[in-house]
Chains A and B, each alone.
Chain A
Amino acid sequence: GQQLNQSPQSMFIQEGEDVSMNCTSSSIFNTWLWYKQDPGEGPVLLIALYKAGELTSNGRLTAQFGITRKDSFLNISASIPSDVGIYFCAGMNYGGSQGNLIFGKGTKLSVKP
Chain B
Amino acid sequence: NAGVTQTPKFQVLKTGQSMTLQCAQDMNHNSMYWYRQDPGMGLRLIYYSASEGTTDKGEVPNGYNVSRLNKREFSLRLESAAPSQTSVYFCASSERGAHGYTFGSGTRLTVV
Task: Give the B interface residue count (CB, 8 A).
Answer: 26
Question: Would A48 and B90 count as touching, CB distance under 8 A?
Answer: no
- Pick the contact of B94: A1, A43, A44, A98 (CB < 8 A): A98
Question: Would B43 and A43 count as touching, CB distance under 8 A?
Answer: yes
How distant is the Cα of A102 from the Cα of B59 in the complex, in angstroms? 10
A residues 15-35 touching B (CB-CB < 8 Å): 31, 33
How distant is the Cα of A101 from the Cα of B44 in the complex, in angstroms? 10
Question: Would B100 and A42 count as touching, CB distance under 8 A?
Answer: no
Q: Which residues of B sit under 8 angstroms from A6, Cβ to Cβ?
A: 42
Instruction: Please tell me if B26 contacts chain A, counting CB pairs below 8 Å.
Output: no
How far does the Cβ of B98 sit from chain A's closest Cβ, in whole Å?
9
Q: A40-B105, A45-B101 are in contact. Are A99 and B45 (CB under 8 A)?
A: yes
Residue of A nearest to B99 (CB): A31
Q: Which residues of B sit under 8 angstroms from A9, Cβ to Cβ?
A: 40
Question: Would B43 and A103 count as touching, CB distance under 8 A?
Answer: yes
What is the interface of chain B, defined by CB distance below 8 A to chain A? 4, 31, 33, 40-45, 48, 50, 56, 58-59, 90, 92, 94, 96, 99-106
User: What are 9 residue pairs bridging A and B, where the CB atoms are less than 8 Å apart in the complex?
Assistant: A9-B40, A44-B103, A48-B100, A97-B50, A97-B56, A99-B45, A99-B56, A101-B45, A101-B99
